[in-house]
Every structure is written in structure tokens, then in C-alpha cells.
Chain A
Amino acid sequence: MSKNVNRRDFIKTSAMGTGGVLAASSMFTWVPSFMEDSVAPLLESNAERTPTVCEVCFWNCAGWVYKDRDGNIQKIIGNEDDPNSNGRLCPRGTAGVGIYNDPDRLKKPMMRVGDPGKQEFKEVEWDEAFDYIVKKMNKIKAEHGPEAMALMHHGTAGPHFKHLFKSFGSKSEAKPAVSQCLATREAGFINTYGAGLSSPEPTDVKNTKCLVLIGNHIGENMHNGYVQEVSHAIDRGASIITVDPRFSTVASKSKHWLPIRPSTDIALLLAWMHVIIYEDLYDKKYVEQYAYGFDELKAHVASYTPEWAYTKTDIKPEDIRKSAYEMAKAAPSVIIHPGRHTAWYGDDTQRMRSIAILNALLGSYGKKGGYYFAEKAKLPSYPHPEYPHPHWTWKDLTKKDGYKGAIAGVTNVIREASLPGAKEKYGHEYKGWFIVATNLIQSVPDQEKTIKALQNLDLVVVVDTMPMEITGYADVILPEATYLERYDVARVAQHRVPNIALRMPAAEPKWDTKPAWWMCRELGLKLGLEDYYKWETYEEVLDWQFKKVGSSLDEMKQIGVKLFDKKKKLYLDDGEDYFFNTNTGKIELYSTDLEAMGYDPMPKYTDHAQPEDGFYRLIYGRAPMHTFGRTINSPNMNDLMDENNIWINPKIAKIWDFKSGQEIWLQNQDGVISTFPIKIRVTERIRHDSVFMVHGFGHKNKKLTRAYGKGASDSEMISSYKIDPVTGGTGMRGNFVTFLTENPHKKEQV
């Protein structure tokens, strides 16, 4: 009997003095086979494994997928050779299994029945869906030109659709994530160092002596490799300085936690510059050799003393000084980390500039323990004819809105240019959208406007794996296979060592779902773009690409990740000449580009609105077990966290007579009321003038059986946003909420 495996072990009674070995009932342990335990742990050595690249977040860790005896996907673990994960996936990556298993997935192509706005769909075959889309696209092309098609995307499926759009004749595309996330950061760094940071950001956390985090709750956002390196930093005793109105996880692990009054970060950054310059703590040699505009900066920050900053930030002058000394002591092994979701208050490029400048003063850019020079492998693209040249793109429209520093498509501008009357304003307008793997309703502020734009379009195609809020606004829904069931573009990520990684299907796509490359190719063929699709399957493309860099699809299937030799140095040598890609060839503390575009050449502090009586600033953030709103419904991740709650300081709770676990509704400064109630968490971890909630909950689509109505949506409360004048990034932290204890929707229900 297999059960006897257990009998091989000895049975011990460690009881009150009896001790000894008591062999229990060996003659009675026979068990009928139907009663035997059917659930056994996985034996890795016997299991089949295939390489994958995680799609649960943008960190895109490489891993291995294991299948159980019955051929079902059982678990996913990291690939040891992968620099993004170092063989360790984060909880979401480990829980990726649930994304494949989720019974709520989109299963078949669907088309709208009847009026737009009415959420009635019928299931159709792929051909019918494609024919409809192609007919509409051709009509839009005939009437408005191919440029009137816009692509909103996120994740790995994006490049397939970008290729389709470019072949069709449109270069209008935007990642909503960029406008809210990296755009302002990249602009800030480009205008200082002549280069952005890209992803994963090349911060040398592993070797740093001092890590400064401003509103950056690493650990709650599980940027995998970054979290791992922070842990190493803690192990080495590096000092961490965290600036956050909330006692975040990483704040609890910090030497200095500066509980700042929200929206005053630039004041703190300027005061730090003041201390570092006027107390002679900056890296003179570095600044002299590499920086431009030091004298102007020195004069500029003269009045920004810690005492001045105290009046803005609530942080005591001595704490500002102490933390500045801590950074200076560690320099150049110091990182003032720029973070990722950087669009906050509308002056975000300038805040990112402040961070970039502070790093420059401490000489950390290009230094060990500061910022290293990342390197990326080069994977040639599969040959195709030149793309047609569009007559206009998002860039032309963005210029009209004045966002001269925009580095990528601005979601907001595309949305504006899709509203009724857009043609008068911009000279052009969008008539059709593809929305690929991004839930615009939750991810872009001002839901009303998004819905208005959606209803004004002639064609809305949504490609996703899950029924999200956005799928309700589609004309055609194309169910995408999950990342565990498909080939995709190879991952080419920058890192310390150049590398590529393969994602391949671990299982057949469930139901009638299809990979993005297949959808794009089919659409391409039907649109008459066969010259751009001179391959049958994506395996051909990958094999061709891999062979160009000395590997092959077969090899990649075996190894998953391939590392290449380094061609660049990680750090600058002492005094080494270096050309920065700016107008002056130097690190521009004083930005000539920004000046030329008519923006402030050096960051200034401006006051932002503070909450009125009875209102609290809405701070939203992440939980380590979820990626935005995308994973809330996924079985495994939902198991770890199935609803969010609202953090309220005990002092405020006392005023309102609130208890933990009590349900309330939220109402924001514009009178918007949350659809669903949210439970209170009374906690000391939040400032009295703010509340905190984890983003992504409060889903409204009933087809998300696990996520529907669980918790409240922070996005719903974000009706006001401040636009960064440089990049068009949408700052969403200027929203304030108050609490409703009675169900405000009761009347409507009657």
C-alpha cells in the first residue's frame, strides 16, 4: 500500500513523560483504495515544465510552469537565470495559476446586440467578429483615413496590435499606464540626464548604502527584483529613508520615516537640496565635471530652508537635516528613488526633476550603489515592408494641447479627440478604438468622460481575458488566451546583464480563446495586409529572431532565459568622461530644454489644495497580492485578499464614532458617491488628514463573480485630476472624500 510510505517514519509520542516509541496499530491501517487520499503534493522531478514570462505585472519575470499528473497547470516558479526574478516569483506570479483557472474568463467572441450603452451581447464565431471589425475599420479608413483608429493597450499583447495598427496606417497608440505612471518620471530624467530610466529601473539597490523612498511603498508594490534588492539592503544594514503620510510596510523598516503632509514633497526635496548645497555636502568633483547650472540652482534654493519646508511639510527641520546628512554620508552609494506611479499633483515632471537633481548633487547617477547603466539585448524584428506613413498621429494632437514634453501617446488626449466636437478643436478625430488588456474605466480618471468618448466612437473592440467594466462598452469582445496558453513577443528587458526570455504555451487555450498574435494576423489578412504577415505561426517569428542572436526556439524552450555578454560598463569610473544626451552634454541641473519649451528650468514649489473640514485626502496604493484591478477576481489572489478597506486614523474614527469592520460609503469633493460600501480599518498607520485604500476593488461587472461589489473603487472617487503641463500626465492625488454611514443608494432601489 502506498500508505505505508508514512509507516516508514517513526511515530513518536512526546507526551508527559511517557516518551518512547509506540507503534500504533500497524495491523489495522489498511484502507480501501477508494478512501485513499487523492490530493498529493506535486513531485517536481516527475513533472513536465515549460518556460513562461509572467504577465501578472509589467515586471515580466521569467519562470517555469509545472503540470500535475492529469496535465493541469499546478504551479509556476521563477527561472533561476532570470535577472528580473532571480528564480523567485512574487505572490502574484506564483498565483498566476488562478488566472488560467478562473471560470469567469471570457470564453467566446461576443458582439453587441442593439443599442450601444445597452450591455447585451451575443456569442459569435471568430470569423463573424473579424468580418464585422474589418468592415468597420475599412469604413473608418474610407471616411476619415486609417489614422482615425487608435490603440489603447497594456502588457505583452500590445506589440502585436501595434504592428497591426502601423501596417494599417495608424500610429496613434497610448498606454494609459504611461500617462499616470512613467511619463512624468521619464520626462524628469530625460530633461536632467538626457535619458529616461525605463523598466526595470536601473537603481543599484543591491549595493546601496542609503535608499530614499518618496511615496514609494515598495513591498506593498511587489516589483519583484526591486523588493529582493531592498531585502538585501536591509540585510546589509543600509539606511532607508521613507517619506510617506502613511506608515507603509517599508516605512516600518526605515531608519527615518518622515510622515509628510501630502502634496508637499517638492518643498522637502528643495529643502534637502538647500541643506546639501549650503552645508557643502554635495559631490563637488562630480558636479563640477558632469553638471550644468549649479550656480543657478544654488541661488534658486537659497530661500528653501528646512525651516521654510517645515511650514509646508510638517517635517521638523532637524529631521530634514538629519536625513540629508544620512544621504550625504552614503553618497555616492545613495538612491533617491523616483518610483513608478509618479503622476500625483500636476507638477510631477518638476517633482521628478527635483529627485533627478538631488541624485546628481550626491553624485549617485552612474555610480555603484546609485544608478547603474542598464543594458538591453537586441532582437531584430521579423522582416516586413515599410509601414505606411500616417498623415497625422497622437503627436500632432498632443502638441495642440501644449504637452511639449510628452514622450509617448497621451491617453487623455486620445480621449479628448474622441469626444463629440473634437474635430473643431484638433482638426482630426478618432472614430475607432482597440482596447487591449486595459480596463480604461478603472485605470483612467474621470470615468464619465471616458464613457462619453466610448459612446461617440463608431467601433470599439476590446481584447481581454476577463470581463471587466470596459468590456461592457465594446462593440466586439475578443477573448484572449491567458499568458499561460500562448506564444508572445520575446521579453527583451534591460538589466545589469542583457537577456531575452521566452513565453510559450503551457497548456492549450481554454474554451474558444486565442492568442493576440493569431487575432492580429487574421485581422491583418482580412484587411489585405498579408505582406506584413509572411509567417504562419508565431513560432516561426520567434525562431527566426532567436537564430539571429545565436539561439533558437528549441534552445529557448529548454532554458527559458538566455543571458548575453555585457558590452557596457555598469558604472562610471572615477573622473571618466561621459556625454549626457542633453543640449549641454551635461547633467542639467538647470534644464535648457524645459526653458526653451517655456517651462520652469528649475523646480519650484507650489501649494496644492488641502482637504476641507470633514474631508480627507484620498490616498490609494497597492497590496502585494494584487496587480491593480486585474487580479481581484483571480481565484488564488482573491483568496489572499478579496476586498479593500479604508484606513482611518483612530482620532478621526473617534470623531465619527467609527469601528473597524463597519461599512461606510464614500463621497468625494464633487459629490460622487461610491457604488459599493467599504469596510473601515481604524489604524494608526495613516495620517489624520488622509485616508488610504488599496486600488482596484469595487468591480461593477457582475460577471466577475468573486470581485463584484467587493470593497469600493478608488477610481470612482477620482473625478478630479491635475494635468502635468509638460507631459500631459494625469495627477490623481488631489481628491478628497467624506463618509456616509447610511446607504445612499437605498432610495434608488425602491
Chain B
Amino acid sequence: MRYAMAMDTKKCVGCADCVVACQTENNVPEGYCRDWIVENVDGTYPLLDLEIRSERCNHCEDTPCVRTCPTGASHVIEGGIVKVTHEECIGCGACIESCPYDARYFHPDGYVDKCTFCDHRVEAGDTTACVSVCPTEALTFGDLDDSESPITKLLKTRKWKVNAEEAGTKPQVYFLT
């Protein structure tokens, strides 16, 4: 099993529903977020390009955050989901420094927190909270090892890119362009 997410930049309007759905689903404290919206503008009026992306932890294949964690709090579970066991985390910040995507943050209680791909929902056969609310259905979550899954098909038929490929972490959030 290899969980991944595809994010369709053609459809996303940057409404941030994914952000707030994650916050209410996962009790993310006020002022923090596990996913966020980035807007890139390029060009000169009126020849312009705008790309909007919903970003989050990339649940990389190669996980520098897990590698640098001194206690094993950061770990990988089935399907390649990267998680943090709060009670093992000492809050040293090593994983934050090692993430090219700045996807981790210190929870006000001290431990490091991040996107879990809503593993509690996925385990129950559901999809992630952000995917389930996305009004434009720009987000697709699924198993890349399953050749029939919508995400596999999307990645076969659409052009895509990943963020900070040169960081070499093999990220698993794909941006359809």
C-alpha cells in the first residue's frame, strides 16, 4: 500500500476549506494548521499566470524527518503515512528543520504536530477530511499500489509535478497541472 494525494491546480480556487476541515477534524489549535493554501502569480498584466495549491505534509518516500528524529516519535506507518507519537516527542525541532516543506510545527503543548493523512479516517475506510469537503473536488486521496484507484489513474492521464523535487525526499503529494 502506498497512500498519496493528488491536488488539481486547475480546479482549486484556494477557498481553504481543506484547511478548516482539517482543523475541526483534528482539533488543530487556533493559529495553527496542518495544511495551507499557496498562491503563485507570475507575469505582467494582462499576461498572467496564477497557480493555487493546497499544500500539506508530503508523506515522503524518503523521510528526513523520521531519520533525524532522536526518539523515534516520528515514524512511518502502513501505507507510508508519516506520523508523530506525541508522547515520545521531546520537541527538539530536528524534524522541523529537516522538512523541506515546513509542514511540521510545534503544537502549543510542546510536541511536534503535522498532517496524518487522517489515518484514523483512512483506517475506517474513509478518505481524509480535506478531501471529503473540497468543494471543487480538487483533492484526490488513494493508494498508488492499486492500479484501479482514481489517484493512480489521474497520475497516468494528467501532467503533474511535485514540490522541491531536488530535496530528494520523493514526496507523495502530486500537483496536477
Contact = CB atoms under 8 A, between A and B. Distances in A.
Given A31-B87, A37-B87, A219-B13, A12 B136 contact: no
Given A41-B118, A224-B135, A247-B45, A636 B25 contact: no
A13 B69 CA distance: 10
Contact of B88 (A29, A44, A91, A228): A29
Interface string A626-643: 000000000111011100
Contact of B78 (A9, A44, A74): A9
Contact of B13 (A78, A235, A624, A683): A624
A649 interface: yes
Contacts of B71: 24-25
B41 A91 contact: no
A9 B138 contact: no
Interface in B33-59: 33, 41, 43-46, 48-52
Contacts of B142: none
Contacts of A95: 20, 24
A227 B135 contact: yes
Find the residue from B10, B85, B134, B138 having the highest chain A CB count within 10 A: B85
Interface string A676-687: 000000011111
B27 A684 contact: no
Given A10-B78, A89-B133, A227-B135, A41 B15 contact: no
A25 B75 CA distance: 13
Contacts of A234: 10-11
B172 interface: no
A12 B45 contact: no
B83 interface: yes
B45 A649 contact: yes
A106 interface: no
Nearest to A22: B72
- Report which residue of B41, B51, B116 has the largest number of chain A beta carbons within 10 angstroms of its beta carbon: B41
B164 to A, nearest CB: 17
A75 interface: yes
Interface stretch (A107-115, A249-257, A365-373, A544-552): A249-257
B46 A259 contact: yes
Given A228-B136, A234-B11, A684-B41, A12 B76 contact: yes
A231 B137 contact: yes
Interface residues of A, number: 69
B21 interface: yes
B2 interface: no
Given A11-B76, A228-B135, A624 B11 contact: no
Nearest to A257: B46
Given A36-B87, A222-B15, A684-B44, A77 B20 contact: no
A42 interface: yes
Given A10-B78, A42-B25, A249 B41 contact: no
Contacts of A749: none
Contacts of A639: 20, 23, 30-31, 33
A11 B44 CA distance: 49
A94 interface: yes
B63 interface: yes
B124 A91 contact: no
A323 to B, nearest CB: 14
A94 B87 contact: no
A684 B48 CA distance: 8
Contact of A231 (B11, B61, B87): B11
B175 to A, nearest CB: 15
B133 A77 contact: yes
A641 B30 CA distance: 12
B25 A41 contact: yes
Interface in A237-296: 247, 249-253, 257, 259
A312 B67 CA distance: 62
Contacts of B86: 37
B63 A14 contact: yes
Contact of A88 (B49, B62, B133): B133
Interface string A22-57: 001100010100011101111111000000000000
B14 interface: yes
A717 to B, nearest CB: 23
A11 B72 contact: yes
Residue from A10, A24, A31, A74 having most chain B Cβ neighbours under 10 A: A24
B143 interface: no
Interface in A84-98: 88-91, 94-95, 97
B24 A90 contact: no
Contacts of B163: none
B120 interface: yes
Interface string A152-194: 0000000000000000000000000000000000000000000
B5 interface: no
A587 interface: no
A88 B75 contact: no
B135 A90 contact: yes
A45 B86 CA distance: 24
A639 B132 CA distance: 21
Interface in B74-92: 75-78, 83, 85-88
Contact of B11 (A12, A235, A683): A235
B4 interface: no
Contact of B132 (A10, A35, A77, A624): A77
- The 6 A-B residue pairs whose C-beta atoms are closest, nearest first, are A219-B13, A24-B72, A9-B77, A252-B50, A231-B136, A624-B15
27 contacts: A6-B85, A9-B83, A12-B76, A41-B25, A41-B26, A41-B120, A42-B27, A43-B120, A74-B24, A75-B24, A88-B135, A88-B137, A89-B17, A90-B15, A91-B15, A219-B14, A234-B11, A247-B45, A247-B50, A249-B52, A252-B50, A624-B17, A625-B16, A636-B23, A637-B20, A641-B16, A685-B48
Interface of B: 10-11, 13-17, 19-21, 23-27, 30-31, 33, 41, 43-46, 48-52, 61-63, 66-67, 71-72, 75-78, 83, 85-88, 109, 111, 116, 118, 120-121, 124, 126, 132-138
Given A39-B27, A91-B19, 4 more contacts: A42-B25, A43-B120, A684-B45, A684-B48
